[in-house]
Amino acid sequence: DQQVKQNSPSLSVQEGRISILNCDYTNSMFDYFLWYKKYPAEGPTFLISISSIKDKNEDGRFTVFLNKSAKHLSLHIVPSQPGDSAVYFCAASFLNSGNTPLVFGKGTRLSVIA
């Protein structure tokens, strides 16, 4: 049972435009969400996170939006750059439950076309 779902396996965007990556989750107890970026032949790297007490978190070109009622979050990248081409993983966790493993989605491959 996939608790974290990224329903779009891939996405292509023109350079300079907005990239929107979506993620849905089923467990309403999740209260902390993260996005990771993965380049080929490298491990995933942390990008941005948001706790359930917020509905938006921004870091430079990257913004994550959380809609708790819809159990949905999205990552916006503006403007998109060719170096953003990577696989993006959404992950969820329980903030106050100690060392609990992150639950990851299957990832979305973003291609930014110059």
Partner 1 sequence: DSGVTQTPKHLITATGQRVTLRCSPRSGDLSVYWYQQSLDQGLQFLIQYYNGEERAKGNILERFSAQQFPDLHSELNLSSLELGDSALYFCASSARTAANYGYTFGSGTRLTVV
Stretch that binds partner 1, among 10-18, 19-27, 67-75, 96-104 (CB under 8 A): 96-104
Beta carbon of residue 58, minimum distance to partner 1 (angstroms, whole number): 17
Closest CA to 91 of 39, 21, 42: 21
Closest CA to 82 of 14, 2, 6: 14
Strand pairing class (108-113; 10-14): parallel
94 binds partner 1 (CB under 8 A): yes
Closer of 83 and 101 to partner 1 (Cβ)? 101
Q: Interior CA angle at 74 toward 111 and 81, to 5°? A: 30
Closer of 6 and 63 to partner 1 (Cβ)? 6
Beta carbon of residue 39, minimum distance to partner 1 (angstroms, whole number): 10
Q: How far apart are the first and last CA of the chain?
A: 38
Letters for 43-82 (x = contact with partner 1 by CB under 8 A, - = none) are xxxx--x---------------------------------
106 binds partner 1 (CB under 8 A): yes
54 is written with which tokens? 């917020």
CB-count burial class (<10 Å; 0-12, 13-18, 19+) for 61: middle
Contacts with partner 1, residue ranges (CB under 8 A): 2, 4, 6, 32, 34, 36, 41-46, 49, 89, 93-95, 97-107
